[in-house]
Amino acid sequence: MMCRGRHGSARGYTLLELMVASAILAVGLTALIQSFTAGTNTLRQNEQRSIAVILAQQKMAEIEGSEELEDGIQDGEVEGIYDRFQWQSEIQTLPDYPNLKQVRVIIFWQDGQRRDDVTLTTYVRVPPQSETIG
């Protein structure tokens, strides 16, 4: 864009004006890229957490469907396409309620430098020893 001064001569933008405009553009683009990167990271973390919740629900259903719930801790790695996830289960009889077991499933994974996890806990009633068919 050309401006005409008092004397009618054509004048362009000065170097200083161009440098200021470039600096403003650089700051704006940097902020935009950082915002996009943060959004992408949040989306990836939410995806990982959603997968972990589904894996924890599957492991919990597997444990609840087993014939006997023995107190103790077990762990392992998830097999298949989600092999970056690991699991741990803990089953314990509640002291004040011998027919009730607490079942906890933890799914954990490494996300860069950070370790993340999802925990599900439920309670399962087990029949008293006298009700067990043997």
pTM of structure: 0.69
Q: Is residue 27 part of a domain?
A: yes
Q: Tell me how far apart the alpha carbons of residues 73 and 62 are, in angstroms, rounded to a whole number.
A: 15
What would the two tokens of residue 23 be?
Answer: 């600096």
Number of domains in the chain: 1
Q: Is residue 3 part of a domain?
A: no
- Residuewise pLDDT in 10s, the chain (134 residues): 555 555 555 567 788 888 888 999 989 888 888 888 888 888 888 999 999 999 999 999 999 988 888 999 999 999 888 889 999 999 999 999 988 999 999 999 988 788 999 999 999 998 877 544 54
Work out whether the CA dihedral 93, 95, 100, 105 comes out positive or negative. negative
Q: Is residue 74 part of a domain?
A: yes
Please tell me the predicted confidence (pLDDT) of residue 128. Answer: 78
Q: Is residue 6 part of a domain?
A: no
Q: Is residue 2 part of a domain?
A: no
Q: Is residue 57 part of a domain?
A: yes
Domain of 22, CATH number, reads: 3.30.1300.30
Please tell me the predicted confidence (pLDDT) of residue 126. Answer: 87
Q: Is residue 73 part of a domain?
A: yes
Apex 120 CA angle, 48 and 131, nearest 5: 145
- Cβ–Cβ < 8 Å for 89, 71: no
- DSSP label at residue 106: E
Please tell me the predicted confidence (pLDDT) of residue 111. Answer: 80
Task: Look up the domain containing 89 and give its range.
Answer: 13-131
Q: Tell me how far apart the alpha carbons of residues 126 and 134 are, in angstroms, rounded to a whole number.
A: 15
Q: Is residue 71 part of a domain?
A: yes
Count of C-beta atoms within a 10 Å radius of residue 49: 16
